[in-house]
């Protein structure tokens, strides 16, 4: 789970709103205990109460949005107002800033934005000290606190970025074939769903091209799986080099590959598939060139759902293989792209 997802979680929004309201509520008793006139804490009370109500009643802002920055300014602005209201005897207030570094790291993904918020808070805390408006206890409290704000922000950023990177890698692995590096069935289903939505909106067809290697089982049986794996990697490399930037190549499993061709009719897909076949024939197995079976399905002509499109392409692939197995391309110790 990344910061964007957490920021929109209902529990996080509720907790943030409650923190705002609690922060506004404790200003009055805190000022009374420290013998500071309560009226000096009214700005902090008002800002905290308004921010709390808005947070509880409105959707959470997206990370990086202007509204999100306003929310963060309100979050550290409430204790800033209380801090300035309590001067010169404001030593108890800086403890309320402990959360600032962690909060901005949690609610922002840009390191520059995080650094900017932490810097502004630090300057606002230090300004009364530079102007001689704070007593010695406040000075000590601020000098202890400010390094902690930056350090906590750095720690949270490091942990969150490492966690998000790991999450991205896991998501990528879940959509990739580990042998060839191509997409897998999960990626194909996602891209098919996306292309169907886009086709319904724009009115452009798309085609799914299914390819299957002739004689692949014999290679595995006679030469071993290492030779078969080498052949699959060579096929993946050739396909990748010959498709368009917007096309999606996946390994369906075994020796079957699919190429999703956006904004492409079945006629154009057939021409493209024949060109791919010729490129794949450059992969040699001993004295034989690799041959493939091919099946094409077009959306929406051949089906209006994922299962139907896959089924039509697969049926046409099997029919093609049944009619043309003249060059199985086996008996090689090695498969390489020439």
Q: Are residues 265 and 211 in the same domain?
A: yes
State whether 190 and 166 are in the same domain. Answer: no
180 inside domain = no
Q: What percent of the chain has pLDDT over 70?
A: 94
Q: What is the pLDDT of residues 20-52, one digit of tens each?
A: 898 899 999 989 888 889 999 999 999 999 999
Distance CA(257)–CA(137), nearest Å, equals 71
Residues 197 and 313 in one domain: yes
Considering the domain architecture, whether residues 59 and 197 belong to the same structural domain is answered as: no
The reported pLDDT for the residue numbered 338 is: 35
- d(Cα 143, Cα 127) in Å, to the nearest integer? 12
Say which residue the tokens 């794996």 belong to. Answer: 229
Last residue of a domain, one of 123, 145, 174: 174
Single out the residue in 153, 174, 195 at which a domain terminates.
Answer: 174
Instruction: Verify that 310 and 333 share a domain, yes or no.
Output: yes
Same domain, 44 and 109: yes
Instruction: Give the pairing type, strands 292-299 and 288-289.
Output: unpaired
What is the domain extent for residue 147?
Answer: 3-174
Question: Do residue 90 and residue 38 come from a single domain?
Answer: yes
Answer with the one of 139, 174, 209 that is the final residue of a domain: 174
Tokens representing 98? 């402990």
How many domains does the structure of the chain reveal?
Answer: 2
Tokens representing residue 234 in the block: 């060579």
Q: What is the pLDDT of residue 225?
A: 76
In this structure, the strands spanning 288-289 and 256-261 are: unpaired
Asked whether the beta carbons of 138 and 94 are under 8 A apart, the reply is yes
Q: Are 231 and 294 found together in one domain?
A: yes
Do 38 and 154 lie in a common domain?
A: yes
Residues 155 and 13 in one domain: yes
Residue 286, pLDDT score: 56
Measured distance CA(183)–CA(257) in Å, rounded: 10
Is the bond into 88 cis (omega within 30 degrees of 0)? yes
CATH of the domain at 326: 3.30.70.270
Q: Is residue 56 part of a domain?
A: yes
pLDDT for 284: 75
Domain contains 64: yes
Residue 289 lies in a domain: yes
My answer on whether 112 and 208 are in the same domain is no
Tens of pLDDT, residue by residue, the chain (338 residues):
577 777 777 888 888 888 889 889 999 998 988 888 999 999 999 999 999 999 999 888 888 789 999 999 999 999 999 999 999 999 988 888 888 888 888 888 889 999 999 999 999 999 999 999 999 999 999 999 999 999 999 998 898 888 888 877 787 778 888 899 899 989 999 999 999 999 998 889 999 999 998 888 777 777 777 888 888 999 999 999 999 989 999 998 889 999 999 999 999 999 999 999 999 988 876 566 788 999 999 999 998 889 999 999 999 999 998 875 433 333 333 334 33
Whether residue 179 is contained in a domain is answered as no
| Residues 162 and 213 occupy one common structural domain | no
pTM across the whole model: 0.62
């Amino acid at each position: 789970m990344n910061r964007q997802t957490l920021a929109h979680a209902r529990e996080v929004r509720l907790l943030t709103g409650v923190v705002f309201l609690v922060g506004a509520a404790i200003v009055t008793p805190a000022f009374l205990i420290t013998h500071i006139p309560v009226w000096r804490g009214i700005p902090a009370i008002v800002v905290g109460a308004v921010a709390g109500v808005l947070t509880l009643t409105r959707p959470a802002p997206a990370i990086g949005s202007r509204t999100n920055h306003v929310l963060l300014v309100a979050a550290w602005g409430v204790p800033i107002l209380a801090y300035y209201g309590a001067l010169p005897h404001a030593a108890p207030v800086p403890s309320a800033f402990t959360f600032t570094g962690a909060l901005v790291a949690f609610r922002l993904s840009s390191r520059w934005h995080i650094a900017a918020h932490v810097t502004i808070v630090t300057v606002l805390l230090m300004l009364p000290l530079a102007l001689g408006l704070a007593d010695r206890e406040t000075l000590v409290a601020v000098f202890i606190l400010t390094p902690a704000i930056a350090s906590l922000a750095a720690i949270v950023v490091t942990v969150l970025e490492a966690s998000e990177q790991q999450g991205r890698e896991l998501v990528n692995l879940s959509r990739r074939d580990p042998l060839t590096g191509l997409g897998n069935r999960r990626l194909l289903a996602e891209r098919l769903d996306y292309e169907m939505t886009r086709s319904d909106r724009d009115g452009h067809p798309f085609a799914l091209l299914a390819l299957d290697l002739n004689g692949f089982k014999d290679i595995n049986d006679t030469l071993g799986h290492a030779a078969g794996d080498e052949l699959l990697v060579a096929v993946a490399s050739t396909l990748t080099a010959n498709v368009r930037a917007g096309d999606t190549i996946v390994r369906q499993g075994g020796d079957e590959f699919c190429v999703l061709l956006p904004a492409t009719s079945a006629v154009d897909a057939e021409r493209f598939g024949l060109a791919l076949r010729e490129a794949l024939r450059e992969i040699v197995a001993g004295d034989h060139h690799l041959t493939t079976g091919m099946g094409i399905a077009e959306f929406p002509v051949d089906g209006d759902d994922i299962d139907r499109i896959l089924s039509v392409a697969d049926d046409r692939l099997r029919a093609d293989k049944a009619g043309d197995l003249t060059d199985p391309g086996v008996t090689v110790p090695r498969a390489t792209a020439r």
